[in-house]
Amino acid sequence: MTLDNRLLMHGIYGYIIRVPPARPVTYIPFTVSPVLMQYMPRYIAPVFLVMTFIVLLCAGCTSPSGIPSGTPAATPSPAGNLSLAPLALNPADLPAGFVQQSGRYKSPDEVSAAAKYLGWQQGYVANFTSAGNVSSGTTTITQTITQYNTTNMTELVGIVSANEEQHTGLGFIALDPPSGIPGARAINAIVVNISGSSSSVGGGILPVAQATSAPVTGYMEVIFGKGQVFEVIRMTGPGAQYNTLAALAQTAYAKSG
């Protein structure tokens, strides 16, 4: 646009249209679309930066394992980050005459899908027995320790306690929970049908024992949780005493930190 034309535009519209200075011409040895030519300059720098990033990224992925050189190999995470065995009762914690029969971690294959759904991470079980009066039978104490990936133990205690009461052939009496264990529940399961067998009734969250020909056995039990640790301590047999069970639960609760 000539100077005369610009002055004419100023006189008609009240402003001067300023023509930007001409850009230097870049020779491209192939045919380029006019639209591409219009927008290409502003995208050259971003495209160059993206290409540089891709080249540098590929340069760091040349190790056979696909991991950049110098990066330490990943270590598989354990099933749970707590050590449950030290939380178990030991013979010194139990009344005289009890002997430990076993203490082991549970295999995930032993755990129901419902327990895993609730956040089961790992489990440990310890068994103790006392012959007592041989004619009357053996008294057994079983401690089950479980780590869940939740700290809402009050809800979990309620779920397990409700599941326990699905067994037929047993009547359930709520006992006063041991002092000093917040949210604990204690129950006394009494045989009410001698010929009955343990079976599942209703639609409980956790599966109970399947029906078998074995007679139902009464028991006393304390259920509690602390942090991510959930415990069930059960006492069965003619020598079962709630005072003893409550004291063991308090000892176990103290061990859980």
Provide the 8-state DSSP code for 110.
Answer: G
Asked whether 222 and 143 are in contact (CB, 8 A), the reply is no
Q: What pLDDT is stored for residue 204 in this prediction?
A: 36
Q: Is the pLDDT of residue 242 over 60?
A: yes
Q: What pLDDT is stored for residue 42 in this prediction?
A: 55
How does DSSP assign 40-100, residue by residue? HHHHHHHHHHHHHHHHHHHHTT-STTSS-TTPPPPPPPPS-SS--GGGS--GGGSPTT-EE
Asked whether 100 and 90 are in contact (CB, 8 A), the reply is yes
Structure tokens at 212: 């078998």
Give the Cα separation of 137 and 147 in Å (integer): 33
pLDDT digit string (tens) for 103-149?
A: 999 999 999 998 999 899 999 999 999 976 656 789 999 999 999 99
Give the Cα separation of 161 and 136 in Å (integer): 29
Percent of the chain with pLDDT over 70: 58
pLDDT digit string (tens) for 155-197?
A: 999 998 888 888 888 999 999 999 999 999 999 999 986 554 4
What is the model's pTM?
0.62
Q: Is the pLDDT of residue 25 over 50?
A: yes
Q: What pLDDT is stored for residue 49 in this prediction?
A: 52
Confidence of residue 31 (pLDDT cuts 50, 70, 90): low
The stretches of 118-241 forming alpha helices (DSSP H) are: 153-164
Domains (ranges, CATH) in the chain? 3-59 (no CATH), 85-255 (3.40.1000.70)
